[in-house]
A and B are shown apart, each in its own frame.
Chain A
């Protein structure tokens, strides 16, 4: 028997484990394994190796499932509690943006009128207008971050 046949047999055997063989290749391999003791020993050893791999003992930590179930339930409750608050925050933010966009031209005219009446420089008027836009948004971001921080803090405390 040539070395090529043994190499082919080993290749087919690995292939049978990983992706399967065609009927013809499987028959050839079975025939070869019946005739070649070395290759049969090699394949038997790989089968034993896989059997041992399947039986590697893994020790499950005590109460892991129960502890996880508790943690998941607590998180679910926490999320359920914060969800209405988040929804309200989104509604308020959306409404404030809507009103802000609608009233922007009016406010701009108001700023311009006040600026010209009080002789305030144009740059200061523009900055005032930008602040009028930015400050509520900054407050909203601060509120969201504060809420998130509280949530993270609570969940860490429970862990």
Chain B
């Protein structure tokens, strides 16, 4: 356990408001993206985002600093998604990339590529985005955690309370599903 995580655990158990403000700021993109990938619904992802931080406030004393904070945070978010999906049918990823929102996240570096490359990249992203709509949420989740969050297999397994073998098999199947869901010629 490092001093940082110990300090984090202590701050969480004392419900330090400044620490929570900092964490919300720090993890906003990653947590929102995770929730959006899982639910496919921006409004629901936003609600769950706020609810996740309320849980962090209320259950901060349960964070023991043995795991990474983000794994604990994502596990809380995941449980909330499961709770909601039990209550109502989950929507698909149809609203991903909502055009009404105006704060783009993680845009491609427009200065480093030509206009044509940018156009192709955008088309590829759109194709991937559309393909994501077609694959089940449990594949989307592991693909995001592994290839976007770059989490280790054990870390993902611990977060999801699933055996590592299940995570591996979902990754293999998820990759295959994503590839086969892509339209011909894309990527």
Contact surface of A with B, Cβ cutoff 8 Å: 14, 17-19, 45-46, 48-50, 52-62, 64-65, 67-69, 71-73, 75-76, 79
* Contact in complex: B105, A60 (CB < 8 Å): yes
Query: Which of B62-70, B75-83, B171-179 lies on the face that meets chain A?
Result: B171-179
| Nearest-CB residue, chain B, relative to A15 | B172
CB under 8 Å from chain A, chain B span 77-135: 96-98, 101-108, 121, 124-125, 127-129, 132
Which of chain A's residues have a CB closer than 8 A to the CB of B153?
A: 18-19
- Nearest A residue to B52 via CB reads A68
Q: What string of 1s and 0s marks CB contacts (under 8 Å) between B35-59 and chain A?
A: 0100000100010011001101110
List of B residues within 8 angstroms of A76 by Cβ: 15, 17, 20, 57
25 residue pairs from A and B, CB less than 8 Å apart? A17-B171, A18-B168, A49-B128, A52-B125, A52-B187, A56-B128, A56-B132, A57-B97, A57-B107, A58-B36, A59-B42, A59-B97, A59-B101, A60-B105, A62-B103, A65-B24, A68-B24, A68-B28, A71-B50, A71-B53, A72-B24, A73-B17, A73-B21, A75-B57, A76-B17
Tell me which residues across on chain A come within 8 A of B28, comparing CB atoms: 60, 64-65, 68
Whether B148 contacts A54 by the Cβ 8 Å rule is: yes
Total B residues in contact with A, Cβ cutoff 8 Å: 51
CA of A56 to CA of B28 in the docked complex: distance in angstroms?
16
Counting from the closest, the 8 A-B pairs by CB-CB distance are A59-B101, A52-B128, A52-B124, A58-B105, A18-B171, A65-B28, A58-B33, A48-B187
Contact partner, B53, options A61, A62, A68, Cβ 8 Å = A68
Residues of A close to B61: CB separation below 8 A: none
Contact partners of A62 in chain B: CB under 8 A: 101-103
A58 in contact with B29 (CB, 8 Å) = yes
Q: Is the CB of A67 within 8 A of B172?
A: no
Q: Are B104 and A59 in contact (CB under 8 A)?
A: yes
Give chain B's interface residues, CB within 8 Å of chain A: 15, 17, 20-21, 24-25, 28-29, 32-33, 36, 42, 46, 49-50, 53-54, 56-58, 96-98, 101-108, 121, 124-125, 127-129, 132, 143, 146-148, 153, 168, 171-172, 175, 178-179, 182, 187
Residue contact A72 to B121, C-beta cutoff 8 Å = no
Are B98 and A59 in contact (CB-based, < 8 A)?
yes
How far apart are A129's CB and chain B's nearest CB, in angstroms?
40
Q: Is the CB of B168 within 8 A of A58?
A: no
A57 B172 Cβ-Cβ under 8 A: no
List B contacts of A68 (CB < 8 A): 24, 28, 49-50, 53
Q: Kindly provide the distance from the CB of A66 to the nearest chain B CB, expressed in whole angstroms.
A: 9
**Is B53 in contact with A72, judged by CB distance below 8 angstroms?**
yes
The contact of B106 among A46, A55, A72, by CB within 8 Å, is: A55
Once the chains bind, are A67 and B50 in contact (CB under 8 Å)? yes
Residues of B within 8 A of A52 (CB): 121, 124-125, 127-128, 187
Distance in angstroms from A159 CB to nearest chain B CB is 8
Docked pose: A45 CA to B180 CA in angstroms: 12
**In the complex, what residues of B have CB within 8 A of residue A57's CB?**
97, 104-107, 125, 129
Question: Which residues of B lie under 8 Å from residue A55 when comparing CB positions?
Answer: 106, 108, 121, 125
